[in-house]
């Protein structure tokens, strides 16, 4: 039948010639190809010393941001935890006391903020959900560790370093 798209190609299956059935010419060709590969540039990146360049929109470990005065932006609204498809984020909110105005931007803040890095799928939905621009996935890779409990990152690991004045 006539092909409608005209893209169909009938491939003829010829019986193999003697040279093809001997395999040896093909093996010699293959050996030549692999031999040439010996002198090509190596693709290896020597990881701990050298790192692969990561793209602009790379999503790494989370960091909780501070505003221009060094106050924590997070108000513990819980939208990130709600948005998280992997249920990796938990938090406990607390009220800001008098004399803590220099630490927290608004009256409510996250006393505990934990991300379980083994649950996290690094999708970035928390970043999108956050109304206060408080969480960003701009960190490095997640490094290996020995215990599961060490993969639950608290505020000590997540919050940005305070501003230097």
Instruction: Say which DSSP state 57 is in.
Output: T
Our finding on whether 34 is near another protein (CB under 8 A) is yes
Record the tokens describing residue 13, joined without a space: 């299956």
| Part in contact with another protein (CB under 8 A); list of ranges 36-44, 56-64, 70-78, 89-97 | 36-44
Residue 153 marked as a ligand binder: no
Residue 86 marked as a ligand binder: no
- Alpha helices by DSSP H, listed for the chain, are 18-22, 24-38, 79-83, 125-129, 155-158
* Paired strand residues for 95: 108
Rank residues 38 and 161 by Cβ distance to another protein and give the closer one. Answer: 38
Query: 115: how many CB neighbours lie within 10 A of its CB?
Result: 27
Our finding on whether 50 is near another protein (CB under 8 A) is no
Strands (E), 22-154: 63-64, 89-95, 108-116, 135-136, 152-153
Q: What's the closest the beta carbon of residue 33 comes to another protein, in angstroms?
A: 8
Per 3-state DSSP, what percentage of the chain is helix, strand, and coil (rounded to 5)? 25, 15, 60
Our finding on whether 41 is near another protein (CB under 8 A) is yes
Our finding on whether 43 is near another protein (CB under 8 A) is yes
Rounded to an integer, what distance in angstroms lies between the CA atom of residue 73 and that of residue 159?
10
Q: What's the closest the beta carbon of residue 22 comes to another protein, in angstroms?
A: 9
In contact, 129 and 85? CB cutoff 8 Å: no
Q: Which of 42, 98, 102, 149 binds another protein (CB under 8 A)?
A: 42
Query: Which residues, numbered 1-30, are part of the site for another protein (CB under 8 A)?
Result: 24, 27, 30
Residues in contact with another protein by CB under 8 A are 24, 27, 30-31, 33-35, 37-38, 40-44
Binding-site residue set for [4Fe-4S] cluster: 74, 77, 80, 84, 120, 123, 126, 130
């Amino acid at each position: 039948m006539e092909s409608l798209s005209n893209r169909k190609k009938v491939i003829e299956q010829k019986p193999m010639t003697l040279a093809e059935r001997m395999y040896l010419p093909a093996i010699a060709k293959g050996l030549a190809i692999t031999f040439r590969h010996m002198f090509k540039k190596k693709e290896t990146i020597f990881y701990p010393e050298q790192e692969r360049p990561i793209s602009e929109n790379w999503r790494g470990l989370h960091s909780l941001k501070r505003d221009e005065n060094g106050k924590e932006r997070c108000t513990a609204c819980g939208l990130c935890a709600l948005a998280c498809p992997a249920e990796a984020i938990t938090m406990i909110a607390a009220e800001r006391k008098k004399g803590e105005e220099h630490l927290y931007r608004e009256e409510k803040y996250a006393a505990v903020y934990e991300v379980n890095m083994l649950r996290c799928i690094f999708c970035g939905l928390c970043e999108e959900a956050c109304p206060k621009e408080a969480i960003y996935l701009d960190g490095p890779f997640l490094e290996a560790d020995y215990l599961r409990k060490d993969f639950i990152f608290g505020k000590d690991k997540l919050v940005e370093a305070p501003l230097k004045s």
